[in-house]
Amino acid sequence: MNKMTVRDIDLKGKRVVMRVDFNVPMKEGVVQDDTRIKAALPTIKYVLEKGAKSLVLMSHLGDPKKDMQKAKEKAEKDGKAFDEKKYIEGKHKMAPVSARLAQLLGKDVKLAPACMGPEAESMVAALSQGSILMLENTRFHKEETSKDAAEREKMGKALAQYGDVFVNDAFGSAHRAHASTEAVAHFLPAVAGFLMEKEIEYLEDKVMKNPARPLVAVIGGAKVSSKIAVLESLLGKVDRLLVGGGMAYTFLKAKGLSVGASLVEDDMIDTARAILQKAYETNIYLYLPIDHIVTTEFSADAQSWHVARGNIDENQMGMDIGPLTIQKFEGALKGAKTVFWNGPVGVFEFPKFATGTMALAKTIAALPDCVTVIGGGDSVSAVNKAGVADKMSHISTGGGASLELIEGKELPGVKALKDKKPAGGCGCGCC
């Protein structure tokens, strides 16, 4: 990585402001999965061990305004009462997150009532040597995600007053040019944390730039439209490409095969056909399902049938890849030295239709001498459900960010970091 990291800067006696990705699943004020909190621990501990005077942490936790509106509309539709205060306290306040961080660190973590304002400023000023302060959810401030760059700059400048150095370890938010991820870097020396460094090392370097070969990509999920740029980018890099999930039916229809009532994006048929043609012209093996598990209704306990490709009746929909496809995909993965996986190959949230996804997770985990990278999102849930997360080389904490990096886009949160300089320092007076 050509960006400076916490290793490249002198932290002793410095006030550090650090963007983390603590956007964790919450239910009634309880953290449901602390994976992202644990992922930030190495950088947090390093900053404190290197003698930083204080550490101010900031993160978003959902989008309070948008998420509450959706929850409110759902409650009204279901005829249920909706308590706005209880909802916000249970889903979007940082108190449970800071409490969990304190448990993991075995150290007190103070919590500010906001990101900006007199009370937050006074709490930062009062921080003693080696202490930690967590700011409240950054998205309670409209400036955080404002489309007006001046508003984001204003908040970024306010946040920058809390430190001498900015550390960005929030890869999951690096694809957003928000106040706390990008604008704050305009006012302080900005470096990457260890998680950010690891994400870029695996996704950019070990998958896209210098992969051990053969490189095999497994792309699933519901829609082709959300993965077009990823597929096009991978076609120029991979040796084999496996496509499953709902998106596979758009490709199968593009080949003239019967897909019944399966999920298809008709406006993407030509795009799918072009991708198939490009794969053929560049001698890339593109694998599609050859059999399916189908139902006549989208439900967890629906009656299901096993059918061969092209034999899906008009009232049937594909819910999972079949046993022959599992076998074919496993064969395509055999001998791979690098694997990138993003997206389930079936409706894996329904146990009855998770067989294909679980089988692939276990196959990928068992590949010998292979760099295995899981590209965030539902794929992370899949490897956790399969019990093989600890056997993967890297599990990305950022679904959208990982896909944009694979697409070849420059992430705003990464671009804002200081470039590495030749030996002798970066010239900012902090090295």
Q: Which residues are catalytic?
A: 36, 223, 377, 400
Alpha helices in 265-335 (DSSP H): 269-281, 323-333
What are the angstrom distances between the C-alpha of 95 and each of 22, 62, 350?
A: 12, 14, 33
Distance CA 269, CA 40 (A): 42
Distance CA 314, CA 312 (A): 7
**371-374 and 26-27 strand pairing:** unpaired
Q: Residue 103: how many CB atoms within 10 A of its CB?
A: 12
By three-state DSSP, how is residue 422 classified? coil
For the CA atoms of 343, 346, 349, 351, the dihedral, rounded to the nearest 10 degrees, stands at -140
Question: What's the start-to-end Cα distance of the chain, in Å?
Answer: 18
Structure tokens at 83: 């308590």
Q: How far, rounded to the nearest angstrom, does the alpha carbon of residue 240 sit from its chain's CA centroid?
A: 23
**165-168 and 15-19 strand pairing:** parallel
Tally the C-alpha atoms within 13 A of residue 280's C-alpha that lie toward its C-beta: 7
Residue in 356, 351, 352, 348 with CA at minimum distance from that of residue 325: 356
